Amino acid sequence: MKKKKILQNHKRYGKVFIPPFQHMLGPLSEISWIKTMMPELLWIALIQDYHGLHEGVALITRFTRSARKCSSSKKKNIFATITSLGELTKDEMLCLQGELIARGDLFEIQKALFPLIALYPECPLDFLYSIKPSSSVEKKEHLERMKNVVGGMYNKISRDTMMVQATAIWLAFDSGVLKVFEGLALAKFPEIERYPHTELSEKVAASIRSSIYMLFTEHHYQDSENWPKYFWNHGIGVDKCYFGESSND
């Protein structure tokens, strides 16, 4: 009876008991922070780098809420990754553009993402621009900004990178996809703003780093990884630089 109570929230498949968290999100697989997750979350990093944390989070939240409003999909979409936003239909993209224009957010997003689209013309977020930015204009400035943001993201536990991951998890909360039990570290999510200055914020950060993989389960992410592959392959031609694998990957 005691064992039954402990596992009563688990789903049983034969002799295997699947925890409720994993059952809801799907199987968790090994995904590289550097090869896959960094390119997918780069748009969040660029917006927060340009607009600052609080204004950036507010802008990103309005953006993804508008995306969900325009999406005809019946499933709950988080829209935290570049790939997921690129999977919108043409009509949904036009709807999203209209929503962003009406709120006065489109230009603010365009300014923040300008280097990404200028240097990576096949980025799925190019639909946000009626006229594609050219890398020949202010290329050095765009390149330096991209290098600074991408370079900083190699350190998965730095404050800026933790705020990117925290924002992605916030979008999972905001979309209604993620819910946590009271008493878990992630239930104290707002404490992440104090990272890394309190013990609780360190615990919340660790929970966020573990939970970020949920965004890349089969329910929320297509395994083709077309954008991440393009990002790194095209990046070799954009600028020859090497940061090396991170011990936090």
Q: Tell me, what amino acid is at 159?
A: R
- The pLDDT of residue 136 is 65
Residue 77's pLDDT is what? 92
Closest to 173 in 3D by CA, of 9, 60, 46: 60
Q: Is the pLDDT of residue 83 over 50?
A: yes
66/94 Cα distance (integer angstroms): 11
pLDDT digits (tens, 9 = 90+) for 133-158: 776 667 788 899 999 999 999 999 99
Position 170 pLDDT exceeds 50 = yes
The better pLDDT of the pair 89, 247 is held by: 89
Q: Which two tokens stand for residue 72?
A: 């005809």
Q: What is the pTM of this model?
A: 0.85
At 76 the pLDDT is: 85
C-alpha dihedral, 179 to 19 to 184 to 205, nearest 10° = -80
CA dihedral 18, 37, 234, 77 (to 10 degrees): 70
Q: How many CB atoms lie within 10 A of CB 184?
A: 13
What pLDDT score does 5 carry?
45
Task: For 182-236, write each residue's pLDDT tens digit.
Answer: 889 999 999 999 999 999 999 999 999 999 998 998 777 876 669 999 999 998 8
DSSP 222: -
Mean pLDDT, rounded, of the chain: 86
pLDDT of residue 8: 45
215 or 2: whose pLDDT is higher? 215
Q: Is 16 helix (H, G, I), strand (E, B) or coil?
A: strand
- 236 vs 42, 118, 134, CA distance in Å? 17, 15, 18
Mean pLDDT of 22-47: 80
